[in-house]
Amino acid sequence: MPAPSRIVDSHQHVRWHQRDEHGLVADLDAHGIGYAWLLTWQLGPVEQSPEHANYLNPALTLPDGSHPGIPLAELIAVRTLYPQRFVVGYCPHPLWPSAPQLLEAAHRMHDVRICGEWKFRVPFDDPRCLAIFHMAGKLKLPVVLHLDVQYLPDPVTDAPVYQRMWYGGNVGALERALTACPETVFIGHAPGFWREISGDADTSPSQYPHSPVTPGGRLLPLFDRHPNLYADLSAGSGRTALARDPAHAVQFLTRYADRLLFGRDYYGTELHTFLQSQPLSADVVEKIYWRNAERLVAPPR
């Protein structure tokens, strides 16, 4: 694979996983990344979990032990320190009163340019979510979506097992949101999204399947039916979906090169290392690593 002329990390967070903003910038520098999209993650009462204590900022823990997540104020403070390294995103919780108006105010007051990360225990097609998505479309803000399915089959009995840490619902709810909001660009992400690249999504008990991709995956038809659907390759989910079948990955990356974005959601080089090992054209590489991101969202100014 030819080296990209520049790199934009289109999915990133800050003040988490025991690193502050200086640690994040040092990591961007170490991997040749020009700048990143910084995304919020607003936790409501139903999203609280003891697992979050391992990676969220302990300074924000409230007296009752709950945590707000990664709020907008943190991102604004970080951008003030490093204005050329970050574009700020924000997604209010869909259960907050007047959430669409909060998104609009954040865009006007704080130059928020992305609606994200949308990561809530509410189905995508809930009317309160659609109201946020419509506002994002009006403001020309792409929406970064996190999908984790509600049920996975038991590896022995095939009975559906409830997944406590679900977000967004299922691929059906995603398609209904895509249909309801054709004016809005959605950027899919996370295990529940990427498992749909393969036809065994309903039968695989693993959150991160590693078996070869089989025909009949619902993700490709979604891309074909909905030109407003994009995806980022961030976190273990995107890389794992590609690495489970490299030959299929090259076909997929080439076919949808206009709608895929490089992103990490963390630190390190796992995705970059995988992409470097694939026989991708220079045009595909440039689109994935930065052109698509800058076509959707202007760089820092």
CB atoms within 10 A of CB 252: 21
pLDDT value for 1: 80
On whether the CB atoms of residues 31 and 272 are closer than 8 A, the answer is yes
Per residue of the chain (301 residues), what is the pLDDT tens digit?
889 999 999 999 999 999 999 999 999 999 999 999 999 999 999 999 999 888 999 999 999 999 999 999 999 999 999 999 999 999 999 999 999 999 999 999 999 999 999 999 999 999 999 999 999 999 999 999 999 999 999 999 999 999 999 999 999 999 999 999 999 999 999 999 999 999 999 999 999 999 999 999 999 999 999 999 999 999 999 999 999 999 999 999 999 999 999 999 999 999 999 999 999 999 999 999 999 999 999 999 8
Residue-range domains of the chain with CATH: 8-296 (3.20.20.140)
Cβ-in-10-Å burial (0-12, 13-18, 19+) of 93 comes to buried
pLDDT value for 35: 98
Question: E-assigned strands of the chain?
Answer: 8-12, 35-38, 41-42, 69-70, 86-88, 115-118, 143-145, 148-149, 151-153, 160-162, 168-169, 186-188, 229-232, 260-261
pLDDT value for 258: 98
In eight-state DSSP terms, residue 167 is B
Q: Which of 101, 29, 93, 41 lies closest to 265, judged by CA? A: 41
CB atoms within 10 A of CB 223: 17
Q: How many residues does the chain have?
A: 301
Total-model pTM: 0.97
